[in-house]
């Protein structure tokens, strides 16, 4: 083996070890301390207990924030997936500059600085007097839509057009073809798009930062304001661990339903 | 009939995007070119003063410089660590590569506030680093690691690092190995092969990774606030402060300065890396 090849291997190996430690350790430390029985942060924790999880559900603002985040994620993911699927099915077989423009438009919120979107939405909501929950729902929907759009688009473009043509030539109306031919064939894309939109909504910060109201706060924003104004109490570690646990459940669901390959390609 | 049906599919997502994405942004821009008002969201007279106040103020210019400096540091570290990791990932057999990528993808799904909290737990006065150093008797009083610009760079860099790795690894693993084999069989060593063949061919992945990390750095308000505190504010913090102080035209102008910065640097990054050239489209 040539020495420079060995050097290359060492660099790659050590960079990978460092990277994984830097990425995973912060999350791991939070999850471990959530089970601490102590009053304040201590690492490693002096023992194991469920104290802070019980405390989490005892605190009304935490419980409500968790419930609101779940409701929002379910509703926003469903709306975003419905709209994203429509856009994807419309664009799947279209070419030309209008189709390209529409595709960029539907994908734009993905790379657009979402903090600016949050400010713009707050301004709009102030002007038209939007209720807090609907405002949050629409914002989470806009942020989640590109994920659903992209996964369904990938599925729909991989589809053999002959299948849809067969449906239509056998006399099925466009709506029958959509519901009985196209959708069953792209359902994996639809499901993974929904799960992506759910995950994005459940962790959303930049738009929710401006749009949550008194008594209506999402879990990530509740964690943020606790950290900012009341210091790092361990109930925050429990809240964070619940956030992580829910993501684990969702990722496992994606894995079971559609397989891992799709998750990675969809990114 | 077919076209009518197509419109039924397109109308709802298009309406949603226009009403809640394009529309609000146009409105925000409209507000940014109006005078401030004490009784309403914005005044009646058109003006460019909100922009002049930002671009002509040495305080805001220093904030912009700090924002760009932090972004550059994060990008540098992300590339330096991310590229070898991506190479490592790309060399793995297909099944294991999938597992490693999934392991990298999972942290991205965890809310950034949780990941920033992890860094607070590590760098805080009672954090892992300070207690560790005290137990080793290397320090007497806890070090102030948190609420520094360095904490923002380290925290945000690790939060965004998976994007860089995944972007580059996807390009590298799709790369035709025969290019490298050709270079090696023509007598190029591993270093020459890497610098002249592998690295240039991976620019599309590098470009998309750099863009993602850069754009996400600009709007990472929560991470910047939790790790940087009040002394390490960046442009995005100024926008937030403007909104909470109800200075709408001012905050709107700051938002568009941020957006202009994002667009200008995106153009610059694409011009320097020229990812399309590698794909055989244009020069």
Q: Do A86 and B13 touch (CB under 8 A)?
A: yes
**Identity of the residue in B28, B98, B124 whose CB atom sits nearest the CB atom of A119:** B28
- Distance separating alpha carbons of residues B59 and B65, to the nearest angstrom: 10
Interface predicted TM-score (ipTM) of this complex, two decimals: 0.90
Of A2, A124, A174, the CB nearest to B2: A174
The span from the CA of A213 to the CA of A118, in Å, is 14
Considering the domain boundaries, does residue A97 fall inside one?
Answer: yes
Residue-level pLDDT at A265: 54
Look up the CATH number of the domain holding residue A251.
1.10.3720.10
d(CA A244, CA B115): 10
Domain holding A239, by residue range, is 59-266
The verdict on B117 touching A (C-beta cutoff 8 Å) is yes
Positive or negative CA dihedral for A57, A61, A66, A71? positive
End-to-end alpha carbon distance in chain A? 36
Total tally of structural domains belonging to chain A: 1
Q: How many angstroms separate the CA atoms of A257 and A191, rounded?
A: 8
**B4 in a structural domain:** no
Residue A171 binned pLDDT confidence (cut-offs 50, 70, 90): confident
Rounded to the nearest 5°, which phi and psi values hold at B275?
Answer: -65, -25
Residues 6+ apart with CB under 8 A from B192: B183
| Residue A27 located in a structural domain | no
User: How many CB atoms are closer than 10 A to CB A241?
Assistant: 21
A92 CA to chain B: closest CA distance, Å? Answer: 12
- The pLDDT of A80-86, averaged and rounded, is 96
> Is the Cβ–Cβ distance between A198 and A152 less than 8 Å?
no
> Which residues on adjacent β-strands are paired with residue B34?
B46
Res A266 pLDDT > 60: no
Q: Which domain holds residue B159?
A: 50-278
- Strands of chain A (E only): list them: none
Please tell me if residue B218 touches chain A, with a CB cutoff of 8 Å.
Answer: yes
pTM: 0.90
Secondary structure percentages of chain A, helix, strand, coil, to 5: 80, 0, 20
Tell me if B282 sits within 8 A of B276, measured CB to CB. yes
- A200 belongs to a structural domain: yes
Q: How far apart are CA B121 and CA B119, in angstroms?
A: 5
How does pLDDT run along chain B (283 residues), one tens digit per residue? 456 778 889 999 999 999 999 999 999 999 999 998 888 888 888 889 999 988 889 999 999 999 999 999 999 999 999 999 999 999 999 888 888 888 898 899 999 999 999 999 999 888 889 988 988 888 888 888 999 999 999 999 999 999 999 999 999 988 877 788 888 888 888 788 888 888 888 889 999 999 999 999 998 999 999 999 888 889 999 999 999 999 999 999 999 999 999 999 999 988 988 776 665 443 3
Contact assignment for A113 to B215 by CB distance below 8 Å: yes
Q: Tell me what the mean pLDDT of segment A109-132 comes to.
A: 93
Asked if residue B44 is part of any domain, the answer here is: no
Residue with the two structure tokens 């969702």: A250
- Interface touch A237/B117, C-beta < 8 Å: yes
Alpha-carbon gap: A205 to the closest alpha carbon of chain B (Å): 7
Contact: B226, A40; criterion CB under 8 Å: no
Nearest to B9 among A90, A199, A251 (CB): A90
Instruction: Tell which wins on pLDDT, A243 or A262.
Output: A243
A4 has pLDDT over 80: no
Nearest residue to A114 via CA among B212, B32, B227: B212
A115:B103 CB<8 A:
no
In a domain, A18, yes or no: no
Domain count of chain B?
Answer: 1
Nearest residue in A to B4, CA atom: A174
Best CA proximity match to B147, nearest among B127, B177, B168: B127
Among chain B residues, CA nearest to A82: B13
Considering only CB atoms, A114 lies closest to which of B102, B117, B219, namely: B219
Whole-number Å distance between alpha carbons of A65 and A218: 5
**Contact assignment for B124 to A232 by CB distance below 8 Å:** yes
Measured between CA atoms, how close is A207 to chain B, in angstroms? 10
CB–CB of B110 and A89 under 8 A? no
Please answer whether residues A68 and A213 qualify as being in contact, where contact means their C-beta atoms are separated by less than 8 angstroms.
Answer: no
Interface contact flag, A113 B88, Cβ < 8 Å: no
What is the C-alpha separation between A130 and B69, in angstroms, rounded?
38
pLDDT score at B283: 36
Q: What is the spatial distance between Cα B129 and Cα B107, in angstroms, rounded to a whole number?
A: 22
- A145-149, A177-181, A201-205: least confident range: A177-181
Provide, as residue numbers in chain B, all residues whose Cβ is less than 8 Å from the Cβ of A266: none
Is there a contact between A106 and B24 if contact means CB atoms under 8 Å apart?
no
Residue B97, domain CATH: 1.10.3720.10
Of A133-137, A175-179, B192-196, the range with the highest mean pLDDT is A133-137
């Amino acid at each position: 083996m040539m020495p420079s090849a060995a050097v290359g291997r060492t660099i790659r190996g050590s960079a990978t070890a460092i990277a994984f430690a830097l990425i995973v350790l912060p999350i791991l430390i939070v999850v471990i301390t959530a089970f601490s029985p102590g009053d304040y942060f201590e690492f490693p924790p002096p023992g194991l207990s469920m104290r802070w999880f019980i405390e989490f559900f005892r605190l009304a603002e935490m419980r409500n924030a968790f419930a609101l985040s779940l409701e929002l994620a379910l509703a926003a993911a469903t709306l975003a997936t419905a709209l994203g699927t429509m856009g994807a099915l419309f664009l799947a077989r279209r070419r030309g500059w209008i189709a390209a423009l529409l595709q960029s438009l539907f994908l734009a919120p993905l790379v657009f600085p979402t903090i600016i979107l949050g400010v713009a939405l707050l301004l709009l909501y102030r002007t038209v007097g939007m209720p807090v929950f609907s405002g949050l729902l629409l914002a989470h929907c806009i942020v989640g839509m590109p994920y659903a759009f992209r996964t369904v688009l990938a599925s729909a473009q991989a589809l053999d057009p002959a299948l849809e043509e067969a449906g239509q030539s056998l006399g099925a109306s466009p709506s029958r073809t959509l519901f009985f031919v196209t959708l069953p064939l792209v359902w994996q894309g639809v499901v993974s798009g929904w799960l992506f939109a759910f995950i994005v909504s459940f962790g959303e910060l930049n738009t929710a930062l401006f749009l949550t109201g008194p008594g209506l706060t999402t879990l990530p924003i509740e964690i943020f304001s606790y950290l900012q104004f009341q210091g790092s109490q361990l109930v925050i570690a429990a809240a964070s661990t619940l956030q992580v646990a829910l993501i684990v459940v969702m990722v496992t669901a994606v894995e079971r339903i559609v397989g891992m390959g799709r998750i990675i390609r969809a990114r | 009939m077919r076209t009518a049906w197509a419109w039924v599919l397109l109308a709802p997502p298009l309406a949603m995007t226009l009403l809640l994405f394009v529309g609000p942004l146009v409105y925000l821009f409209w507000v940014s070119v109006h005078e401030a008002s004490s009784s309403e969201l914005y005044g009646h007279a058109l003006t460019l003063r909100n922009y002049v106040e930002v671009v002509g103020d040495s305080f805001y210019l220093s904030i912009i410089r700090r924002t760009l400096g932090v972004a550059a540091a994060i990008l540098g570290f992300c590339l330096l660590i991310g590229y070898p990791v991506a190479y490592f990932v790309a060399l793995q057999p297909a099944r294991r590569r999938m597992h490693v990528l999934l392991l990298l993808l999972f942290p991205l799904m965890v809310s950034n506030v949780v990941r920033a909290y992890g860094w607070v737990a590590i760098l805080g006065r009672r954090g892992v680093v300070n207690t560790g150093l005290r137990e080793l008797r290397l320090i007497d009083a806890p070090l102030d690691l948190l609420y520094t610009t360095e904490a923002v760079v380290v925290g945000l860099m690790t939060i965004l690092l998976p994007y860089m790795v995944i972007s580059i690894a996807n390009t590298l693993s799709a790369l035709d190995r025969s290019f490298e084999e050709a270079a090696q069989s023509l007598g190029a060593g591993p270093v020459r092969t890497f610098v002249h063949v592998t690295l240039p061919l991976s620019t599309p992945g590098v470009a998309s990774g750099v863009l993602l990390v850069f754009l996400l750095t600009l709007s990472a308000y929560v991470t910047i606030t939790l790790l940087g505190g009040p002394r390490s504010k960046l442009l995005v913090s100024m926008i937030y402060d403007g909104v909470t102080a109800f200075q709408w035209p001012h905050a709107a102008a700051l938002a568009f300065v941020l957006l202009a910065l994002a667009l200008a640097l995106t153009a610059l990054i694409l011009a320097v890396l020229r990812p399309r050239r590698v794909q055989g489209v244009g020069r």
